[in-house]
Chain A
C-alpha cells in the first residue's frame, strides 16, 4: 500500500498550485467570468505549457499521463483555484474521443479548443438518450437535431457531435464550428464559462468526419464519461478544500460578541463534521481514480460511488461554509461565492447525486 503521489505527479501538483495561487486570484477570475469569451486564452496557454493538458494523455498520444491518478491530480488543483477554463471539455471529453494524432498534438500544445455535443434537451443524464439523426445522402452525412447545454461550444474550433445512424446505433462526428446549418445560442453558466444550445439543421459533412466505427460510439462515450466524472469529483475535492480553508480563516478572524466566532462550540463541531467528510471525499476520489482503468462494471460502480458522495458532501460543504460565514459569503466579490456555486453546479453535470445512487445500486446487484 502506498497512498503517496509519484514524484512526477507531486511535481505537477506543486507547480500547478504555486502558479494558480499567484495568477488565478478572485479578482482575475471574476474578470474572466464577466468577459465575453468566458475564459482566458492566456491562462489556457500558460497552463498547457505547464503540462496540464499533456497530463491527460498517455505517452503513445504524446502526453505523459492519462491515467485516473493523473486526471485527479490535475483537476484537484484546478478545483482548488476555482478555474473556469474548459479543460474538462477540450482535454477530457472531446480530447479522449479523438483519434487524429495531429489534432491531439495541437490540443496538448494548447492550440485547439473542442466541445462535446452529446446531451439533448430531454435526455437529462441518460447517455443513451440521443435523438439527433445522421442520414447518409449521396456519400455525405446530414445531421439534424438539437444538443443541450454544450459547454465551450462557442470557443470550440470543432464540436464532436453524437447522432443515431441507420440501424439505430450512435456514432460521432467531428464538425467544424462554422459549418453551415449549425446554429449556436450561447449563454454564461452559473459557475463561470459559457455554454450553448446547438441547433443542427441539415448540417452536411463528409463521411470522413465520422470518428471510429459506425454505431459503436456508446461504449467509447461511457469510457470517456467515466474519466470526466473522475475529473469532476477531483475538482470538487479541490473546491471543497478551498471552501473549508476560507471558512477556517474566517472563523479565526471574524469577531462577534467580543471573540472570534470560531471560539463558539456550535461552529467548531460543524467545522469538525466538514473536515471528517472532506477526508471521505479524498478517499472516494482516490478509489474512483484507481479503478478508472478496470473493467467497465467495476469502474462505473466506483465512479458512481464517488459522484454520489461528492454530491452529498458538496452540498453540505457549500451550504455550511456560506452559513458559517454569514452575509459576506453571499456577495459576488468574496471568493467563496464562486467556489460554492461551482461545487453545487457539479451536481448538475454528468449525473446528479440521485442518478449515481441509482446507478450504484444497479451495478451492485
Chain B
C-alpha cells in the first residue's frame, strides 16, 4: 500500500509540475475564451461598410417607415427607379428597394425588387424579407379593416408541461427536457474527453517506462499491478486537478477580460444569438430565469454522485485497457494505431449513442447504451437528468463495476507480460496468450 502511494505520488507530481501541464491548464481556458470572442465577433459582425438604400413605395405599403438594419439605412424617395439608378451610379445610394403595390389583399406572393451593384448578404436579405413581410401583413390588416389586437390574440404559444402520474414523483417543468439535454450532453462530452485525454496519457506513460527500460528496475521493487494502478490513479488525479483548475480559471479569466477590456464574451455571444434568431431581450431574460430555476431544481443529490461514479469507473475501465495496449507496444509507435482502435470504437459509439439518448432518453437504444458497461460511463450520465428508473441505474452500476474490476484484472495480466516483452510483435493473438500466462 505504501508503495502504491509512492507510485501515485510520483505519477501525479511529475505531471503536475511539468511545463506542459501548466501550459495546457492555463492556455486551454484562454483558448476557449479567444474562441468565444472570435465566434462572437464573427456572428456579431454583419457587414463592414454602411449602405444607403433608397426605398420606392408607390403604394405606400410601408407608410414611410422602415427600421434601419445593421449598417443599412433606408431613405424613402418619390423619384422613379430609372432616375434613382443614375443616383446609384453617381454614388449617392448603394441600392434601390422597389415595393410594388399589391393588386388586392388576397395576394399571397409578392416580389420586392432590389437594384444594386452588389447583392445583399444572406442575413441582411432574410431580415429585410421578414420586416417587409410583417409590414405587408399590417398593410393588409388595415386594408381589410380588421382589428389588429384581435388578430394578435389568435396566435397561441404552446408548451408541453410534463406531469407525473403518481404524487410521489417529481413534477418537471416544461424546460426540464432542454436543460437536462444540455447538462447531459455536457457530462457526456466531459466523460468522452477525459477517457481519451487521460487514457492515452496512461498509455504513453506505460510506453515510456517500457522503452526507457526503467520498468524492469521498478518491478523488481513493486508488483506490476501496483505500478499499473499507481499510474492509472495518479494520472486520474492529474485529470481531476486539471478539471478543477479549469472550473475556477474559466470564470476568473472571463471576469478578468471583462474588467480589463470592458468586453463581455458572453454578452457578444448572447447578442449574436439574439441577433440571429431575433429573440426579444425580455424573452431571453425570462428564458434565462427559467433555465436557472430548472438547474436549481435538478436532483443534484442524484446527479453528482452518479456522475462521479461513472466518471471514476469509466476512466479506470478505459485507462486500464489503454495501459494494457501501451505495455504491448514495442518500439514501433505505428502499432499503437491498430491496437488502440478496439478501444476507441466503443468510446466513439458511446459518444454517438449519448447524443441519441439526450434527444430520446427513454428509447430502447438509450436504455441499452446506459446499461451496456462499455457505453454506460458516457451514456448514463447524459440520461441521469431524466428520472431514470432505479432498477436501470442499479443494473448499470453493478454491471459497470463488475466489468471495471474484470477489465483491470485482465489488463493487469496483459500488462505484466507485455512490459517485459521486447521485439515481439504484439497482435491480438499474442495478447490473448499473455492473459493466460503463468506468473
A and B are interacting partners? no
A contact set with B: CB distance below 8 Å = none
